[in-house]
Structure 1
Amino acid sequence: MQEIHPTAVIEAGAVLGEDVKVGPFCMVGPNVVLGDNVELVSHVVVAGHTSIGARTRIFPFASIGHQPQDLKYAGEETRLEIGQDNQIREHVTMNPGTAGGGGLTKVGDQCLFMASSHVGHDCKVGNNAILANNATLAGHVEVEDFVIFGGLSAVRQWCRIGAHSIIGGLTGVEFDVIPFGSVIGDRARLHGLNLIGLKRRNYSRDEIHALRHAYKDIFEGDTGTLRERAAKARETYEGREGVQQLTDFLLVEGDRRFCTPRKGAEG
């Protein structure tokens, strides 16, 4: 049974699933789809072509689906898709895509967006991500699964953030962050592996051991380029899932730059 507060505004055309709760002073636009058991606590605005997955809760003063913060946006029809079982806290903002970025911003399942965090246009956020208070993603950022962003961190447009990595508080990320990486600093520098995260995700001692050795070979080696060292590590640790994931990320085609332990960013 739906529970719609009398002060809420649900525009004609909106689609609400079973047992949806819409609290006081919320506004839901005509092209919005709310999945089963979604809850808008109060003073939430959901606009645009936005879909929100089952059991997601959105807290007061969140602004979801309003037009992208991009001067190139010309009113084209673009989308925002939010998955299931997310917690979207107070004052969070999420924008839909743009024509230049594929027209879609997408958020996975079981994520936590703490107060005043932001997901910019054309971002792709995986599952189980955590954005602490005031963490911000610029446009076109790709975030893989189980990433944690510290408070007041910020990611520059077009960056990729690898799975199981952790971004320290007050850190500005300018370049790609490797899977399992730990970065910190006013301009992000790689400070080793996210060992706590690896243990929490039940990676075996042998897998963690292999990752530590591969990390040392790649980022502390003194011969060849980073790509060459990554290719060699891929062969050396063949069959190690974590190392393969790390090297796949580094060996992606294109002119990418990566956060490294040294000054600058190696490509």
Structure 2
Amino acid sequence: MILITGATGNFGSKAIQHLLNKGVAAKDIAALVRDGEDAQPLKDKGIQVRMGDYADVESMRKAFAGVDKLLLISSSDRGPVENRTKHHINAITAAKDANVQHIAYTSFVRKPGYEASAIADFENSHVASEKFLKESGIKYTILQNGIYQEMILAFIGEKVAETGTILFPAAGGKASWVLREELAEAAVNVLTTEGHENRTYNLTHNASVGFEEIANYISEAVGQEIKYLSPKVEEFKAILEKAGVPELYIGMFVMWGTAVAEGMMDLEDTTLESLLGRKPTTVQQFIEQVYKTVSVENIH
């Protein structure tokens, strides 16, 4: 039995579909969800839906009964970063109590110097979670995932074609952007094949890309020039505040933009390609796919 946490989320739902695509029987897949109302499509496929919450060890202990392998998708809690660490420790504790044999954990790409970077707190949560998992005695695979290509769309905004400009404080930094769909597929390949126990994998792209290149790709896709401007952080904050962007999102954009500028996600690696058995989708292919059916007039 393989259980996927966060099963109705973007990553979890994709992982379940990849399990089914690989021929894993629905009866051998379990899904951990907090809200049963969202889980009906999973039930319709014959997947076992189990209720549980990262904040409630006992609920997960019950949900993990009879599970051999667990895909522990990292918490998306938007509160203090300590919440995420506690959520992961709770899940690992419950898994050990339920005698789960193998946990694959979705961590994040990490480079030397992260302790002084804009994403230090975020990284420290994963470091603490990885340490707890390794010391639990459960067989593990740590998936240090790269930043999602889908995040590019959040960073550049929805009005790129209107304004002709990408405004983001990433300077000349690059990142090894990866498609979430392919990270989910790689996680499933780890869970369904042998030889991955007690391993840590860097699942990043084999080519890093910066926002100058992203601007060029969008220019080609929409048929007009798109420029990239990297303002100073305080100027960027002021622009977003004036536009009425919520403070939570301003903080998030500044954190990730600064981290890209610092090179914290620029780590080229071929492990993802090996696990997929093919070259991963490039940023240029992703951009083309996003914009290919959208005319300039329809981009809002």
Q: Report the TM-score, using the length of structure 1 for normalisation.
A: 0.27
Q: Relative contact order (alpha carbons < 8 A, sep ≥ 6): 1 or 2 greater?
A: 2
Q: Which has the higher helix share?
A: 2
Q: Report the TM-score, using the length of structure 2 for normalisation.
A: 0.25
Q: Which has the higher strand share?
A: 1
